[in-house]
Amino acid sequence: MQDRTYTADAEPGDDATVAGWVHEIRDLGGIAFLILRDATGKIQIKFEKDEMDDDLVETGLGVSRESVVSVSGAVEEEPRAPTGVEVVPESVDVISAADPELPLDPSGKVDADLSTRLDNRTLDLRKDEVQAVFEIRAEILRAARERFREFHCTEINTPKIVATGTEGGTELFPITYFGEEAFMNQSPQLFKQLIAGSNVERVFEIGPIFRAEEHNTPRHLNEATSIDFEGAFCDQNDAMDVAEGVVKAAYEAVAENCGDELEALGLAEDFSVPEGDFPRLSYEEAIERINATGELDEQLVWGDDLPTEGEKALGDDVGGHYFITDWPSEIKPFYIMDHGDEELSTGFDLMHPRMELVSGGQREHRHEHLIEGFEQQGLDPDQFEYYTKMFKYGMPPHAGFGLGGERLIMTILGLDNIREAVLFPRDRQRLSP
Ligand code: ATP
Ligand code: MG
pTM of the model: 0.96
Eight-class DSSP state of 421: G
Cα gap 49→52, rounded to integer Å: 6
Pocket lining: 409 vs ligand 1, CB cutoff 6 Å? no
Contact between 255 and 426 (Cβ < 8 Å):
no
Contacts of residue 123, Cβ cutoff 8 Å, sequence gap at least 6? 66, 102, 103, 104, 106
Q: What is each CA distance from 312 to 137, 290, 295, 308, 320, in whole angstroms?
A: 25, 9, 9, 6, 11
Contact between 7 and 84 (Cβ < 8 Å):
no
List the binding residues: 167, 211-213, 219-221, 356, 359, 363, 404-407
What is the position in ligand 1's atom list of the atom closest to the CA of 407?
Answer: 20
Residues forming beta bridges with residue 223, ordered by sequence position? 210
Mutate to test the pocket of ligand 1, among 211, 221, 363, 406 (most ligand atoms within 8 A of CB): 211
The domain limits of the chain are: 7-96, 122-278+320-421
The β-bridge relationship of strands 202-210 and 154-155 is: parallel
Pocket lining: 343 vs ligand 1, CB cutoff 6 Å? no
Q: How many CB atoms lie within 10 A of CB 359?
A: 20
Domain 7-96: CATH class, spelled out: mainly beta
Residues forming beta bridges with residue 405, ordered by sequence position? none
Cα gap 266→145, rounded to integer Å: 27
What is the position in ligand 1's atom list of the atom closest to the CA of 402?
Answer: 14
Tell me the pLDDT of the chain (433 aa) as tens digits: 668 999 999 999 999 999 999 999 999 999 999 999 999 999 999 999 999 999 999 999 999 999 999 999 999 999 999 899 999 999 999 999 999 999 999 988 889 999 999 999 999 999 999 999 999 999 999 999 999 999 999 999 999 999 987 666 568 999 999 999 999 999 999 999 999 999 999 999 999 999 998 889 999 999 999 999 999 999 999 999 999 999 999 999 999 999 999 999 999 999 999 999 999 999 999 999 999 999 999 999 999 999 999 999 999 999 999 999 999 998 998 899 999 777 899 999 999 999 999 999 999 999 999 999 999 888 889 999 999 999 999 999 999 999 999 999 999 999 999 999 999 999 999 999 9
Catalytic residue among 135, 359, 365, 419: 359
Cα gap 259→268, rounded to integer Å: 7
Domain 122-278+320-421: CATH class, spelled out: alpha beta
Kindly state the helix (H) or strand (E) to which residue 412 belongs, with its residue range.
helix 405-413
